Amino acid sequence: MPDEQMAAAGSAPVPPGGAPSAPQAPPRALDPIDRSIMRLLQADGRASIRSVAEQVHVSRANAYARINRLIDDGVIRGFTARVNHERAGQGASAYITLKIVQNSWRTVREKLRELPGAAHIALVSGDFDVLFLVHTPDNRTLRELVLTRLQSIPEVLSTRTLLVFEETDLLDVGPIGGPAISEE
């Protein structure tokens, strides 16, 4: 792998359920440098090894080894692009809460994954069971998704839609040591 380019080479693919199939060792404690590297890569997954090393004040070899260890340990699951959904033609976003039939989480999760615009699915505690984030081109498409697709899933007992009016991406970080980076 060239010294100047970050790549996901060597990272194991994550199965559809989101968790690796092989048993894993207990999580290793991350030090402040590891956490800074993670924040930098979350902000820019295309950052070069040299840039990461300079910003966290370690050698390129040390940065390279740390990144590979974070990948091998499953801390970093891959690299991706952060998308401005409005600019990408997905101007309507919503969090949808779902109440589901008890013990149907895995079935519901797989059905939700297949829906167009699905961005995030979480099993949660509280007044509802699932929190589902979607991005659609417009409110008409969102309405169709909720009323036709979601509510036709037999395991879904009820839904509530929360429209997103504005978002702030907390992954936009400043330089190391700036206010957006914390060593905690």
For residue 117, CA distances in Å to 82, 97, 163 come to: 14, 15, 14
Q: What is the pLDDT along the chain (184 residues), one digit of tens a residue?
A: 444 444 333 334 444 444 444 566 788 889 999 999 999 998 888 999 999 999 999 999 999 999 999 999 999 998 888 888 888 888 999 999 999 999 999 999 999 999 999 999 999 999 999 999 999 999 999 999 999 999 999 999 999 999 999 888 776 544 444 433 333 3
Q: How far apart are CA 121 and CA 118, in angstroms?
A: 8
Instruction: Look up the pTM and report it.
Output: 0.67
Q: How many CB atoms are located within 10 Å of the residue 63 CB?
A: 25
